Chains A and B, each alone.
Chain A
Amino acid sequence: MNHFCHQASRLSSDALEHPLSWSDRIKLRLHLMMCGSCRHYHHSTQLLQATIHKICNDELRSQKLPEQRKKEIIEACKNEQQNQNK
C-alpha cells in the first residue's frame, strides 16, 4: 500500500509557495492529523522559513561593504576616469 508522506512533504513545501487548491488543502490537513512524521516535517519547514526571514532582515540592517573595499572601488573608478580622459 502506498503512503501519502512523499506527496504530503511536497504539499507542505508548495503551501509555502502559493495557496493550495481546496482538495490539496484537505488531503494535506487530513494526512497531517494522522501522521506525526509529516506533522513534524510540516512544522519544521515553516520554522526554517521564519528563521531565514529573521536572518535576512538582520543582514539587510547590519551588513556593510568593508571600508577597504570601498576605497578600492573609488580608486578603480578614478583610474577608469583617467583612462577615459587619455
Chain B
Amino acid sequence: MAMKQEDGDVTAWVNTYGDNLYRFARIRLRDHDIAEDMVQETFLAAWKARDNFKGESTRKTWLIGILKHKIIDHIRKQVRNRKLDTELSQDPTSPLFNANQSWRDANHAWLDSPDKLFQDGEFRDALEQCLQHLPLRQRQIFVLREFAGEDAESICNSCEVTSTNLHVLMHRARLSLRKCLEKHGFGAKS
C-alpha cells in the first residue's frame, strides 16, 4: 500500500512539475537535451531525498532549488579549465573598432520590430546559432542575464565573476551577436 502511494507521488510529481522544471532549465541552458538531463537528475535527487522535505517551502520551490544548484554546477564544470583572465584579455570584438576607437564598419539601422523578429523562425534559429559562437563564459552570462532575467549578483555568484567582468562580457556579447546576426542577413539595410 505504501509503495503504491509513493509510486503515485512520483508520477504526480513529474506530471505536475516536469514542464515547469524543463522550462526553467531550457531557458538557462539553451539545449533541450541537457535541460532534460538536468530535470531527470533533479527528480532523482529529490526522490531520494523526499523524506528530507519538511514543507518549509512549496514542493515546486524545493524542486527548483535543487535544479538551480545542478545548473550552477553544470555551468561551473563547463568553464573549469578555461581561465577567466585569458578570456578577458582576448577580446574578439576589438576588430569591430579602429585604433582611434571609431567603428570599423558603419552600423545601419535595424528596421524590424521585436514582434516581427520574434515571429521570424529563421531569426530565432540564427540567434541560437550566434549564441553558440560566443565564447563560453560570455554565452553563459548573456543567457542568464537576458534570457533568464537573473540579477547581476546571482550571475556573478553562479559564474564566479565580478560585476565588472560581467558588464565587460555582456558588452562583448552584444557586439558579437549584432555582428553575427547581420552576417545571417538580419537587421542590415539591403
Contact = CB atoms under 8 A, between A and B. Distances in A.
Interface of A: 1-7, 9-10, 12-14, 16-18, 36-38, 40-41, 43-45, 47-56, 58-60, 63-66, 69-70, 72-74, 76-78, 80-81, 84-85
27 contacts: A1-B100, A2-B101, A3-B101, A5-B101, A5-B102, A10-B171, A13-B171, A36-B107, A37-B106, A41-B178, A43-B109, A43-B110, A45-B178, A47-B113, A48-B174, A52-B147, A56-B27, A58-B118, A59-B23, A60-B23, A65-B36, A70-B18, A72-B40, A81-B3, A81-B6, A81-B47, A84-B48
A44 B107 contact: yes
Interface of B: 3, 6-7, 10-11, 14-15, 18-19, 21-23, 26-27, 36, 39-40, 43-44, 47-48, 97-98, 100-103, 106-110, 112-115, 117-118, 123-124, 127, 145-149, 152, 166-167, 170-171, 174-175, 177-178, 181, 187
Contact of A44 (B123, B170, B178): B178
A65 B21 contact: yes
Contacts of A7: 101
Summarize B's interface: helix, strand, loop or mixed.
helix
Contacts of B114: 47, 50-51, 53-54
Contacts of B21: 65
Summarize A's interface: helix, strand, loop or mixed.
helix
Give 4 nearest A-B pairs by CB, closest first.
Answer: A3-B102, A65-B22, A50-B114, A13-B171
B100 A81 contact: no
Given A17-B152, A56-B147, A81-B3, A40 B109 contact: yes
A80 to B, nearest CB: 6
A73 B39 contact: yes
A48 B176 CA distance: 12
Contacts of A41: 103, 107, 178
Contacts of A76: 40, 43-44
Contacts of A50: 114
Contacts of A17: 145, 152, 166-167, 170
Given A13-B171, A51-B118, A40 B26 contact: no
